[in-house]
Structure 1
Amino acid sequence: MRYQMAIVLVATLLGVAAVSAAASAWEYEFRPAKVEYVVYGGYLGDTIPPSKGDSKISFLISGSAAREMFNALGPDRPDACGADASTRVREKREISCLRYSAKEYVCYVGFDLKTGKSIGGVIC
C-alpha cells in the first residue's frame, strides 16, 4: 500500500513539475522584429502626402513575427486576393498575412493616426 501511494505521489509531483516547467517556458517579453512602414494621406491605392488632418501609417512586418502572426490567424483563404499555388493568404479583419515559402512571411497592418483606428495596411 505504501509503495502504491509513493508511486502516486511521485507521478503527481512529476506531473506538477512538467506543467510548471511548460508554463514557465513562455515569458511575456518584447523581441526584435523586422518592420518597415510608410506614413501617408488619402487612401491605399490613391495615396497623397500626409497632412495634419489626414495621416495614416502602414506597417510591413516580416520574419519570425510575421510567421507567428500567420500561424495564429489561420485558416488559409484560398479565394483572397494574392493567393495562388505558391502564396498562402490569411486575413482577419484589418490584418493580412502572406506566406510565399516555408521561410518567407509578411504581414500588413495599418492605423489612422488621426483617430487611432485600425485600418488595412495593404490592398491587393
Structure 2
Amino acid sequence: MPQYAAFIYASDVDPTKPEAAPLLEDYNEFGAAAQAVIRGGAALYPTATATTVRVTGGKGGDIVTSDGPYAETKEALTGFYLLECADLDEAVKVAAQIPGAWDGAIEVRPVVDFGK
C-alpha cells in the first residue's frame, strides 16, 4: 500500500508547554482514531529552535548555518504523520481529521518507495 507524508502547517506553538494541553488532547484523539493507517510521525519544537543549513559552492563547499526557519510565515511546519492509505483520496480524508487542518493546512505528498 502506498504511503503519504502529511505535513502539518499550523500556529507555531510549543507542544511541551502546559497551554498546549487542549491541542494535544485533540491530537491524541486523532491518533487513536487513525491508528490503523499511521506508520509514524512527530511533533516539532517551535521554529525559533530551528537551524537552517546551506552549502555554498555546491558539494564540498562551505557550510553556512542560520538560526530560525528558512522563511517567516503565519503558519509553521509543526509536525508530520506518515500514513499508509489505499490511495490519495483516503490520505486526504485522514488528513482532514488532523487537528492542524482546522486552523492551518495539511500538505499531503506521496512517499517515494525505493524498493525497501
**Pairwise same-fold verdict (TM > 0.5):** no
After TM superposition, the score normalised by the length of structure 2 is: 0.26
Structure whose CA Rg is larger: 1
TM-score norm. by structure 1 comes to 0.24
